[in-house]
Amino acid sequence: MLRTIGIGIFGALVLCAAFSGVAEAQQGHPLDGTWYGDWGPSPTHRNSVVLIIRYDGENLTGLLNPGPDSVALDVVTMDHTDWSVHVEADVRTFSGEVERYVIEGQLQDLGLPNRSMTGTWTHGASNGDFSVSRN
């Protein structure tokens, strides 16, 4: 009888350890992931955008519109007291000039895996709003 109880307790401990590892693996930095959405100066003039943001345990880094013309994000910060996000990148225009993109956002739906972020998007003389969701 004791041997059966001992195996049951041991099995339960193994299962708890396994599930705690899975639960911990699901946690991560709130910005880490791939974000899809759009930005633009008006509801009818929109531009698709993809942001990939990674957290290495110390720093946030990322890419804007990954692919052959992707842009490395120069600055990615998040204030955990109000869940505000600040992103900056230098983007080369078709004419060869460099424009500074500044993105100010607010995280929403933090408890969901597909959380969202909305805010303002500025580059050069253009500005507008943006909305992205993490997948």
Q: State the chain's maximal CA–CA distance in angstroms.
A: 81
- Mean pLDDT for the chain overall: 84
With a pLDDT cut of 70, the percent of the chain lying above it is 79
Q: Provide the whole-model pTM.
A: 0.77
- Residue 83, both tokens: 């869940």
**What stretch of H or E contains 20?**
helix 2-26
CA distance to 1, 78, 98, 101, 107, per residue, from 95 (Å): 81, 32, 9, 16, 34
The CATH number of the domain covering residues in 31-134: 2.40.128
